[in-house]
Amino acid sequence: MKPVTVEPIDAVAFAPFGSIVAHAGGDDRDYLPLNLTAGEDLRARNWTMRLAGHPGDGLLVSTLERHPASTQAFVTLGGDGLLAVVAPTAADGGPDASGLRAFRVPPGSGVIYHRDTWHHGMVALGRGSDVFIVMGLRADGRDTVWAELSTPVPVTGLMGN
């Protein structure tokens, strides 16, 4: 599979997969599209965690996940930013690895994945990041679907601008 190069996150480019969490400026509130009410047994959960920085300039993506019942938000609380790796849904419902994209999420911002968006586990860049996470979880654990890619996709440029 052809390598994917990390690109700076941009609201238009990221729109098929979710929204960017960053204040637009001014004194007004910026409301965010965080929807945790897709199922009657869904409970809003939030937590913080420290993600160690990914070593090196490349990543081999072999597994993706999606959450059918909830959006999922990641916001950096400190550190060097995040790498959001996403893919569109193929006709068979699995991830379309040929459309895989990798976005650099700068420190002090974050992303909200749309419900059912295929994505790689969040990767911290540089020295790592403290992250605030919000999503809906079901008591029975039916909130995550996993998929193995038939051919892993290399992602390059993690240490770029």
Span 136-157, pLDDT tens digits: 888 777 789 999 999 999 999 9
Class for the domain spanning 4-19+33-151: mainly beta
Q: Phi and psi dihedrals of 13, rounded to 5?
A: -65, -35
In the 8-state DSSP scheme, what is residue 90? P
C-alpha–C-alpha distance, residues 1 and 142, integer Å: 31
What was the pLDDT predicted at 40?
63
Span 50-82, pLDDT tens digits: 999 998 889 999 999 999 888 899 999 989 999
Tokens of 18: 């979710």
CA distances from 88 to 74, 80, 116 (A): 19, 26, 10
- Average pLDDT on 105-129 reads 95
Under 8 Å between Cβ of 74 and 133: yes
Span 15-33, pLDDT tens digits: 999 999 987 777 777 777 6
C-alpha–C-alpha distance, residues 21 and 123, integer Å: 17
